[in-house]
Amino acid sequence: MYSWIVQSFYYMYELMGISAGLHTLKSTRPFTDAMNSRLILTATTLAILSIFFALDPIHLFTPPLIPGSLDKLPDAQVIPLVGAVGPESLAFDPNGEGPYTGVADGRILKWQGEGQGWTEFAVTSPQRKDCVQPQAPHMEHVCGRPLGIRFHPTTGDLYIADSYLGFHRVGPAGGLATRLITEAEGEPLTFTNDLDIDEHEDVIYFTDTSTKFQRRQFISVILSGDKTGRLMKYDRSRNEVKVLLRGLAFANGVALSKDRSFVLVAETTNCRVLRFWLQGPKAGTHDVFAELPGFPDNIRRNSKGEFWVALHSKKGLLSGWAVSNCWVGKALLKLPLSFRKLHLVLIGWKVHATAIKLDEEGRVVEVLEDSQGRTLRLISEVEEKDGNLWIGSVLMPFMGLYNLH
């Protein structure tokens, strides 16, 4: 039961032994004191964290309350996905039909209503022979993993950010999508994530979360302190891509403002939303649009010009410590911990849904939660349509539907 704690202490002593050896080289290598201190600090951190995980102290893992939040999402309706998992992003076609969503086995599904349920609409990979499991991370690079999806309001084409296979488009009839982009300014797309469309300028804004890690390594992106994410602009008529922002810490959701003067991008690791100005005196620059109490995923604008931000989870004491000090995160990655335990560092003890609505200035207008996680949790997107919130999740086998009235 505690074998991995013993391993961590062994690792601590091993590192301390190495650091003691380095100490003898002090006269010839002046930087060894710093190395010695860092090794001891890292080893100690590993041991302390091991004890924390063994004891599962609730206060370390319980996310903080958000003042003024409304605990209304337990009343949401659950729409199951039969034989599928992870409806990460949602979109309605120009006729108002749907929603459509991408799932973990690489398919795009369409909701036909209570009577007919889900039907297959499109895929991003032609290699579907072995894509038979609802969730198989080791097959995602073959089967595809659609994340952000958006319909072009004029053409009816669906644009897809596939995390492994790049940027795709499929026509209104569905089927096998066409790959449009696999690189930007000479650098391959490694973790294509989300997008938004400006039909007036005929451009699409999209993100690449990291140039080092793939989607199934998303925890490593956060805990390692990776800052290789990018925000890009795709010119449809010229079939060209331009990088607008580099050095982002887990570039994620994208949303264009109603007047098209700026585009938002979620920087998940830093728990904030950035604003890149497209027009006006600040054009070409960026600033912080909103600081958030957790890790933002997708951003979606409503008809009023406000923005719904889905939090994968709120930021707790331990996760805040880990993301604020990359050496702590790297130490965690060295521990013999499963994906579940590493994920627990980020999501906290009580996994539940949190949706935040921001106005056009980045001010918090409303916070909706399922504080006990009774109905919804680990949400990835909130799409407002006709008085309802359609809610996706990158990990759950269902979608949520909440009536705002």
Q: What is the pLDDT of residues 64-119, one digit of tens each?
A: 778 899 999 999 999 999 899 999 999 999 999 999 999 999 999 999 998 899 99
**What are the φ/ψ torsions at residue 70 (nearest 5 degrees)?**
-110, 125
Over pLDDT 90: what percentage of the chain?
A: 72
Question: Considering only CA atoms, which of 403, 374, 385 is closest in space to residue 100?
Answer: 385
Residues in CB range of 67: below 8 A, 6 or more apart: none
So what's the pLDDT on residue 336? 84
d(CA 62, CA 44): 24
Residue 180 has pLDDT above 50, yes or no: yes
So what's the pLDDT on residue 88? 97
Residue 231 has pLDDT above 90, yes or no: yes
d(CA 178, CA 165): 10
Q: What angle do CA 99, 121, 128 make, to 5 degrees?
A: 130
Question: Considering only CA atoms, which of 177, 138, 172 is closest in space to residue 157?
Answer: 172
Instruction: Please state, rounded to an integer, the average pLDDT across all residues of the chain.
Output: 88
Over pLDDT 70: what percentage of the chain?
A: 85
Residue 198 has pLDDT above 70, yes or no: yes
Q: What is the pTM of this model?
A: 0.87
Contact predicate 46/12, CB 8 Å: yes
CB-neighbour burial class of residue 116 (10 A; exposed 0-12, middle 13-18, buried 19+): exposed
Q: Are strands 388-393 and 379-385 parallel, antiparallel or unpaired?
A: antiparallel
d(CA 192, CA 165): 8
What distance lies between CA 117 and its chain's CA centroid? 27
d(CA 259, CA 193): 24
Q: Where are the domains of the chain?
A: 3-55, 73-403
So what's the pLDDT on residue 381? 98
Q: What is the pLDDT of residues 125-176, one digit of tens each?
A: 999 999 999 999 999 999 999 999 999 999 999 999 999 999 999 999 999 9
Task: Please name the helix (run of DSSP H) or strand (run of DSSP E) that holds residue 80, with its range, or none.
Answer: strand 77-80
Torsion of CA 65, 71, 77, 82, to 10 degrees: 10
Question: Higher confidence at residue 341 or residue 16?
Answer: 341
So what's the pLDDT on residue 20? 37
Confidence of residue 21 (pLDDT cuts 50, 70, 90): very low
Residue 17 has pLDDT above 50, yes or no: no
So what's the pLDDT on residue 64? 74
Token duo for residue 356: 């935040």
**73-403 has which CATH code?**
2.120.10.30
Residue 197 has pLDDT above 90, yes or no: yes
**What are the φ/ψ torsions at residue 328 (nearest 5 degrees)?**
-70, -45
